[in-house]
């Protein structure tokens, strides 16, 4: 009976349902494996090998000829903000506008989101010929009934039309603590609200509901798949949104795999502990995201010695050490991962000290430090000692390089963004982008990682080029090492028998480029998840 069944179903239980042939497959399994063909069954990799071997062993399977293209495992972003990116897509981007008229022109073409509001961000009157704050008048005539609110580039001010001021009850408001409502000579608001006043208005915009989030995530998913990403991170979600992602996965409305880090609120800690986290085919929620300091740009990163360009100022630690220790303890007891944002060397020291006390030597919990931008040399060995994974974003280095030296001074900048040193600690280094802070595009990450230059080839000699990653390290950082950092390496991160058949077909092999800048003109031709084609483009795919 068993024999009949095997015959009836083809050539036995081990026959693939898909064969990818005529390929240059780079397995990224950490052993340098390459192959010409790959067999896939039930959404998982069955075998890799030589063209004829695989074809002969899997007659009857559907065959995809990729015509000599390169195949990598689906790319992973180890630190990003999926929901924030998604919701931002529905908003107007007026970064780089050179006049208020240009902003108004953009608003005239915008339509309201599901909340009924038109939202945008990025204006900066310092970039305009008239550097005075704008007035709401043209926005009122364009949209007398639809609320419009546009955040200034730095997030410290908004421009709102009358409908938005009325809908948020800011029209009638008098004095605002820690903020200001700019007024016309007649006493009515100009529409520009500063700091506390801006925050009050933003807090009164209806929160996006399920439908808006679902719609935004669908759009985000298309962009991410087009870049070859099949697994992304959300570094900071509440339990309700983790459940939302899970339900969208269940209904098939979201296909991307997601690593969800929970915000360490009391409610999230209780829910996560009660449920033992969440691990499905598509979602892993077994980690908490903490913040130890701010960012270098706004001098919020916590440094051991004062900022070079602000005497006496060392930034700010955001965690009360006792509260942090107690929360880490809960995370440890539940067997979850801790992932802590630390940018300055003082913040990093505190994180490594706290982690070290609790982890106390080698372990496989995969606790992480996010960003790890400035590390004091004395602290570097602690990553290896307590198996703490540094999670870095190469495009932050090439974005920050224009001013980071002014903040840190010559000695400290030399040991900042030190990816090769960090890699040396555990022999791995997961890479991400922190999107939407940086672009979602893994090609830019690769260029920044290996050339330490931005797209303009700046700086000529590379930004501390001795810390550049090799092309293979960079690709491993976006695949296998990112999977390891998120406890997903049994399922994704490399093309090996048994793992999910998440893979991308590329027109170039990034390991074989003569000039690393050629990566920017390389294209993702196809993206597969579980052996299914989810994105295809024979031309350009960059969103
Ligand atoms: Zn982030």
What pLDDT does residue 297 have?
Answer: 84
CA of 304 to the centre of ligand 1 (A): 22
In a domain, 92, yes or no: no
Q: Torsions phi, psi of 235, nearest 5?
A: -85, 70
- Identify the CATH number of the domain in which residue 18 sits: 2.30.40.10
Q: How confident is the model at residue 95 (pLDDT cuts 50, 70, 90)?
A: confident
Report the number of secondary-structure helices (H) and strands (E) in the chain: 19, 24
CA of 344 to the centre of ligand 1 (A): 15
CA of 81 to the centre of ligand 1 (A): 6
CA of 7 to the centre of ligand 1 (A): 53
Query: How far is residue 440 from each of residues 75, 220, 302, 359, measured CA to CA in Å?
Result: 11, 10, 27, 33
Mean pLDDT to the nearest integer, 385-402: 96
- One domain, residues 295 and 313: yes
Decide which of 114 and 195 is more confident. Answer: 195
Helices (H), 20-161: 51-57, 82-89, 100-108, 137-142
CA of 173 to the centre of ligand 1 (A): 34
- Identify the CATH number of the domain in which residue 140 sits: 3.10.310.70
Over residues 96-145, the pLDDT tens digits come to: 899 999 999 999 999 898 789 999 988 988 889 888 999 999 999 999 99
CA of 307 to the centre of ligand 1 (A): 22
What pLDDT does residue 204 have?
Answer: 94
Q: How confident is the model at residue 6 (pLDDT cuts 50, 70, 90)?
A: very low
CA of 97 to the centre of ligand 1 (A): 26
CA of 515 to the centre of ligand 1 (A): 30
Burial grade of 421 (CB within 10 A; 0-12, 13-18, 19 or more)? middle
- One domain, residues 217 and 195: no
**Is the pLDDT assigned to residue 543 strictly greater than 70?**
no
CA of 523 to the centre of ligand 1 (A): 26
CA of 78 to the centre of ligand 1 (A): 10
Rounded CA separation 524/528 (Å): 11
In a domain, 93, yes or no: no
Burial grade of 192 (CB within 10 A; 0-12, 13-18, 19 or more)? buried
Rounded CA separation 40/31 (Å): 21
- One domain, residues 245 and 319: yes
Q: How confident is the model at residue 1 (pLDDT cuts 50, 70, 90)?
A: very low
The secondary structure of residue 327, as a DSSP letter, is: H
In a domain, 425, yes or no: yes
- One domain, residues 357 and 217: yes
- One domain, residues 146 and 267: no
CA of 342 to the centre of ligand 1 (A): 10
Rounded CA separation 284/336 (Å): 11
Mean pLDDT to the nearest integer, 512-520: 97
Over residues 315-374, the pLDDT tens digits come to: 989 889 999 999 999 999 999 999 999 999 999 999 999 999 999 999 999 999 999 999
In the three-class reduction of DSSP (H, G, I as helix; E, B as strand; rest coil), residue 373 is classed as: coil
Rounded CA separation 99/129 (Å): 7
What pLDDT does residue 316 have?
Answer: 86
CA of 397 to the centre of ligand 1 (A): 14
Rounded CA separation 513/357 (Å): 44
Q: Are strands 24-26 and 70-73 parallel, antiparallel or unpaired?
A: parallel
Tally of domains within the chain? 3
- Of 203, 231, 250, which closes a domain? 203
What pLDDT does residue 114 have?
Answer: 77
CA of 324 to the centre of ligand 1 (A): 19
In a domain, 78, yes or no: no
344-354 b/e (C-beta count within 10 Å ≥ 16 → b): bbbbbbbbbeb
CA of 80 to the centre of ligand 1 (A): 6
In the three-class reduction of DSSP (H, G, I as helix; E, B as strand; rest coil), residue 262 is classed as: strand
- Of 68, 83, 98, which closes a domain? 68
Decide which of 149 and 114 is more confident. Answer: 149
The string of DSSP codes covering 340-359 is: EEE-SHHHHHHHHHHHHHHH
CA of 51 to the centre of ligand 1 (A): 42
Q: How confident is the model at residue 223 (pLDDT cuts 50, 70, 90)?
A: very high
What pLDDT does residue 437 have?
Answer: 84
- Of 171, 203, 235, which closes a domain? 203
- One domain, residues 412 and 454: yes
In the three-class reduction of DSSP (H, G, I as helix; E, B as strand; rest coil), residue 227 is classed as: coil
Mean pLDDT to the nearest integer, 70-93: 95
- Identify the CATH number of the domain in which residue 398 sits: 3.20.20.140
Calculate the CA 291 to chain-centre distance.
16
CA of 79 to the centre of ligand 1 (A): 6
What pLDDT does residue 161 have?
Answer: 98
What pLDDT does residue 538 have?
Answer: 64
Rounded CA separation 342/391 (Å): 10
Residue 54's contacts (CB-CB under 8 Å, 6 or more residues apart) are 16, 19, 21, 35, 36, 37, 38, 39, 47, 48
- One domain, residues 216 and 190: no
CA of 260 to the centre of ligand 1 (A): 12
CA of 402 to the centre of ligand 1 (A): 20
- One domain, residues 196 and 252: no
**Is the pLDDT assigned to residue 302 strictly greater than 60?**
yes
Token pair, residue 458, equals: 């700046």
CA of 235 to the centre of ligand 1 (A): 6
Over residues 9-39, the pLDDT tens digits come to: 344 457 899 999 999 999 999 999 999 999 9
**Is the pLDDT assigned to residue 504 strictly greater than 80?**
yes
CA of 532 to the centre of ligand 1 (A): 30
Q: Give the range of the structural domain holding residue 23, as residue numbers without chain letter.
A: 2-68
CA of 189 to the centre of ligand 1 (A): 35
CA of 190 to the centre of ligand 1 (A): 34
Rounded CA separation 391/517 (Å): 24
Among 166-175, 199-208, 292-301, 526-535, which stretch is predicted with the lowest mean pLDDT?
A: 292-301
Mean pLDDT of the chain: 93
């Amino acid at each position: 009976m068993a024999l009949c069944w095997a015959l009836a179903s083809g050539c036995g239980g081990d026959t693939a349902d898909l064969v990818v042939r005529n390929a240059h497959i780079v397995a990224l399994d950490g052993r340098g494996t390459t192959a010409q063909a790959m067999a896939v069954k039930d959404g998982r990799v069955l075998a890799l090998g030589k063209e004829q071997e695989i074809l002969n062993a899997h007659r009857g399977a559907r065959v995809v000829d990729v015509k000599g293209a390169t195949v990598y495992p689906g790319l992973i972003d180890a630190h990003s903000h999926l929901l924030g990116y998604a919701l931002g897509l529905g908003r107007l981007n007026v970064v780089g506008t050179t006049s208020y008229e240009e902003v108004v022109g953009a608003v005239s073409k915008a339509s309201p989101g599901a909340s009924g509001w038109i939202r945008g961000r990025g204006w900066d009157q310092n970039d305009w010929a008239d550097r005075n704050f704008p007035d709401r008048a043209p926005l009122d005539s364009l949209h007398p009934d639809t609320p419009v609110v546009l955040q200034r580039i730095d997030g410290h001010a908004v421009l709102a039309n009358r409908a938005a001021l009325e809908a948020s009850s800011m029209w009638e408001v008098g004095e605002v603590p820690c903020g200001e409502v700019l007024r016309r000579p007649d006493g009515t608001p100009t529409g520009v609200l500063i700091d506390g006043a801006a925050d009050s208005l933003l807090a009164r915009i209806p929160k996006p509901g399920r439908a808006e989030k679902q719609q935004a995530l669908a759009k985000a998913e298309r962009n991410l798949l087009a870049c070859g990403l099949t697994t992304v991170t959300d570094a900071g979600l509440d339990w309700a949104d983790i459940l939302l992602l899970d339900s969208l996965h269940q209904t098939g409305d979201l296909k991307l795999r997601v690593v969800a880090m929970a915000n360490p609120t009391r409610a999230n800690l209780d829910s996560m502990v009660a449920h033992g986290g969440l691990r499905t085919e598509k979602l892993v929620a077994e980690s908490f995201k903490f913040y130890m300091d701010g960012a270098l740009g706004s001098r919020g990163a916590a440094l051991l010695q004062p900022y070079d360009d602000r005497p006496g100022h060392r930034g700010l630690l955001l965690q009360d050490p006792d509260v942090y220790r107690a929360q880490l303890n809960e995370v440890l007891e539940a067997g979850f991962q801790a992932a802590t944002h630390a940018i300055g060397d003082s913040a990093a020291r505190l994180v490594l000290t706290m982690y070290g006390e609790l982890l106390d030597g080698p372990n496989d919990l995969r606790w992480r430090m996010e960003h790890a931008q400035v590390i004091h040399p004395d602290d570097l060995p602690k990553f290896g000692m307590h198996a703490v994974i540094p999670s870095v974003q190469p495009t932050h280095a090439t974005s920050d390089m224009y001013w980071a030296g002014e903040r840190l001074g010559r000695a400290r900048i030399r040991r900042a963004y030190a990816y090769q040193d960090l890699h040396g600690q555990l022999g791995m280094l997961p890479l991400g982008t922190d999107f939407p802070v940086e672009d979602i595009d893994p090609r830019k990450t690769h260029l920044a990682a290996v050339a330490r230059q931005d797209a303009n080839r700046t700086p000529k000699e590379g930004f501390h080029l001795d810390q550049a990653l090799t092309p293979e390290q960079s690709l491993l950082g976006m695949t296998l090492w990112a999977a390891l950092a998120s406890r997903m390496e049994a399922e994704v991160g490399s093309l090996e028998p048994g793992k999910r058949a998440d893979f991308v077909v590329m027109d170039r092999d990034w390991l074989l480029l003569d000039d690393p800048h050629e990566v920017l003109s390389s294209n993702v031709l196809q993206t597969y998840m579980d052996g299914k084609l989810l994105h295809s483009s024979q031309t350009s795919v960059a969103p």
